[in-house]
Amino acid sequence: MKEYPVLGKKDTRSGFGDGLLELGKKNDQVVAMCADLTGSLKMGAFKEAFPDRFFQAGIAEANMIGMAAGMTIGGKIPFTGTFANFSTSRVYDQIRQSIAYSEKNVKICASHAGLTLGEDGATHQVLEDIGMMKMLPNMCVINPCDYNQTKAATLAIADYEGPVYLRFGRPSVPIFMPEDMPFEIGKGIMLSEGTDVTIVATGHLVWKALEAAKELEGKGISAEVINIHTIKPLDEEIILNSVMKTKCIVTAEEHQIAGGLGESVSSLLCRTIPTPQEFVAVDDTFGESGTPAELMTKYGLDTIDIVTACEAVMTRK
């Protein structure tokens, strides 16, 4: 299989922060808003460089979302930043009416998504956000996999006209996507070709999918690995082409099974090419306090879980 050397380790939120700073220099219509989490969102550099275009909303997320919608009228491109749970469930109705239904050009940027937030526990570990956001008409949903891809995605969404939900995380994770790779919204990336089983992963699980493919290779199983960074709109073509070849699929994500990438994939496949599928995702439960690594193990989101799922799904062909 294709090798992806580790280029370093960094948190995806830093990719957002660095991307936002670069955007600030490139596009003077870009403004940023934050709800008292400037440091956590890595928005400090933008704030420092462009104080007139940075708006501290305080711990008042509903108002921040509404103001962001209003700021688009007159041409600004607001990037809002807070934790993923405060970016979605806390302000769902504001996003639904003032941004999605009103088709406002707001970029909702959400850090600390999923279990890898770690010790803060389930109140902060949102695992339903992809589902909530993808259900909204007009909303584009993106979950990049590493620092480089998050930075590229941050730059790309400024050029996309319309509401976007950009999801990233807290922990330091391997960097393996090329620094200069342009980000194409809605276009999956074929990471490694294979013939026996398809693994479609998003976010932090993409690296684990590559690790799993390597383990499977040692067992004589050829896995195809696809990086689906954009959950909506979904790149249907890359998935359908793959399952036509492999005849089975595993989806992997740091999210509930309900509402996640896996559900989007199964919805596509049942309408087109009914295909055996296994889900590596959280199964209808909240998280808890613990280290990110402990949590990923306990809730079944590790490399070994993807390997096991691949072996299981292959028996169902």
Partner 1 sequence: MADIAQLKSVSSQVRRDIVRMVHANNSGHPGGSLGCVEYFVALYFEILNHNPSDFDMDGFDEDIFFLSNGHISPVWYSTLAHSGYFEKAELATFRKLNSRLQGHPATEEGLEGIRIASGSLGQGLSVGIGTAMTKKLNGEDSLVYTLHGDGELQEGQIWEAAMYAAANKVDNVIATVDYNGRQIDGDVDDVLSLGDLEGKWKAFGWEVITEDNGNDMESVINVLNKAKTLTGKGKPVMILLRTEMGQGVDYMMGTHKWHGAAPNDEQLVNALGQLEETLGDY
The single residue of 61, 128, 211, 263 carrying the catalytic annotation is 61
- Is 193 one of the annotated active-site residues of the chain? no
Examine residue 156 and tell whether it contacts partner 1 (CB under 8 A).
no
Is 49 a binding residue for partner 1 by CB under 8 A? The answer is no
Under the criterion CB under 8 A, does residue 195 sit at the interface with partner 1? Answer: no
Residue whose CB is less far from partner 1, 69 or 110: 69
The answer for residues whose C-beta is within 8 angstroms of residue 134's C-beta and 6 or more apart is 141, 231, 232, 259, 264
The sign of the torsion formed by the CA atoms of 163, 253, 34, 92 equals positive
Q: Binding-site residue total for partner 1 (CB under 8 A)?
A: 32
Only one of the segments 59-67, 124-132, 158-166, 197-205 lies at the binding site for partner 1 (rule: CB under 8 A); that segment is 59-67
Find how far residue 63's CA is from the centre of its chain. Answer: 24
Nearer to partner 1, 93 or 120 (CB): 93
The answer to whether 70 contacts partner 1 (rule: CB under 8 A) is yes
In the complex, least distance from residue 71 CB atom to partner 1, rounded to whole angstroms: 4
Which of 14-22, 102-110, 259-267, 289-297 is the region at the interface with partner 1 (rule: CB under 8 A)?
102-110
Tell me the closest approach of the beta carbon of residue 182 to partner 1, in angstroms.
29
Q: By CB under 8 A, tell whether 103 contacts partner 1.
A: yes
**63 touches partner 1 by CB under 8 A:** yes
Q: Per CB under 8 A, does 216 bind partner 1?
A: no
Residue 55 binds to partner 1 (criterion: CB under 8 A): yes
102 touches partner 1 (CB under 8 A): yes
Q: Which of 10, 13, 53, 107 binds partner 1 (CB under 8 A)?
A: 53
For partner 1, the closer of residues 49 and 60 by Cβ is 60
Among 41, 43, 65, 269, interactor with partner 1 by CB under 8 A = 65
Q: Kindly list the residues in this chain that would bind partner 1 in the complex (CB under 8 A).
A: 31, 52-53, 55, 57-58, 60, 62-76, 78, 93-94, 96-98, 101-104
So which residues are the catalytic ones?
61
